[in-house]
Amino acid sequence: RGRAGECRAPRLVAAWILAVALTLTAVAFIVVERFGYDSHAYWAAWQGPMFGPRPGEPDAYLYSPAFAHALWVPAQLPWPAFAALFAIGLLACLVWLLRPLERRWWLPLGIIGLNEVAAGNVYLVLAVVAVLGFRHPAVWAFPALTKITPCVGPLWFLARREWRALAISVGATV
């Protein structure tokens, strides 16, 4: 029971049910596609024409060239090494995001996050940016150079008339 007498068990049970469902989804995804489906596109951007495959095709690179340039050094590694390095980075993001929670939430929510690690997408990095971005506005440059939609975070600075934070965010992106 929580402080106000509420029962936390249903939320924890729901988290475990979601963890099991997403684990099955991740396993199916890896069998049908491959581990690191999205991160393979980041790696493959330097193995041939960057914008060769069309959207919806395997290895379609849908990001800015700036993001590809940020990954140029690790993209020189063989695919298995790149995949492992990228997955370790995503796992580090997941662990960092879970750290403030009570320990009983770490395992089910960590399992839920493994789905993102299996895909190799940048969503866990974007979550870290969302947490850090309000204290360190320059980190909003990352979403601006990858997926444009999450870049709306700095609009918060505009709405609150936090001009310095907005200028740092925009300046770092430029």
Which residues, including other chains, have CB under 8 Å from residue 89's CB and lie 6 or more apart? 125
pTM: 0.77
The per-residue pLDDT string of the chain (174 residues; one tens digit each, 9 = 90 and over) reads 445 545 568 888 888 888 888 888 777 777 666 788 889 999 999 998 888 888 888 889 988 888 899 999 999 999 999 999 999 999 999 999 999 999 988 989 898 888 899 889 899 999 999 899 888 999 988 888 787 676 777 888 888 888 998 898 888 877
